[in-house]
Amino acid sequence: MLVSEILRIKGKVLYTIAPNKTLADAVATMSDQDVGSLVVFDGGRMVGMLTFREVLKALRESGAGWQSVPVADVVVRDPITAGPDMEIDHLRRLMVEHHMRYLPVMDGNTLLGVISFHDVAKAVLEEQSFENRMLKNYIRNWPAEAEGGA
């Protein structure tokens, strides 16, 4: 299964934020949209990713003043990205090795979407369920003469 297939299944809705916005703005968007990451865009191009991990680190470091911290101060700049033709096994390995729950999918300079570890797990589960159904169907419809050893 390819990354492009996961994006097709999940949809390509993107949630973004500008680097000059505050963490309060980011948390409001993440909460309202029920997402764990935002793509940070500046001048029409992706400059980083903001996930709940960075928000929590900023909360710990800034204390009561966390809400006014600019997104630019805590964003993960130039995050590792996936390509649309990447195999899911390579994607999983990349996400695990780099401890990433969210990975932007780029085609050149164009952002196609963001894949979460949940999206990957769901795709793998659906792929395995499909293969399981196909194998059961194959076994159920096994030709009778093949069983006789002819």
Query: What tens digit of pLDDT does each residue of 66-98 get?
Result: 999 999 999 999 899 999 999 988 999 999 999
pTM: 0.77
Q: Which amino acid is at 139?
A: I
Closest by CA to 114, choosing from 25, 27, 40, 26, is 40
Q: Looking at this protein, which amino acid is placed at residue 48? A: G
Query: 103 to each of 36, 38, 142, 145, how far by Cα in Å?
Result: 11, 11, 42, 51
Q: What is the pLDDT of residues 89-128, one digit of tens each?
A: 899 999 999 999 999 999 988 999 999 988 888 887 777 7
Six token digits for residue 58 = 């900023």
CATH 3.40.50.200 for domain 3-147, yes or no, is no
What residue segments make up the domains of the chain, in order of their start?
A: 3-147
Instruction: Decide: 67 and 22 in contact? Cβ < 8 Å.
Output: yes
Its sign, for the CA torsion 97, 100, 104, 105, is positive
Residue in 77, 18, 15 with CA at minimum distance from that of residue 49: 77
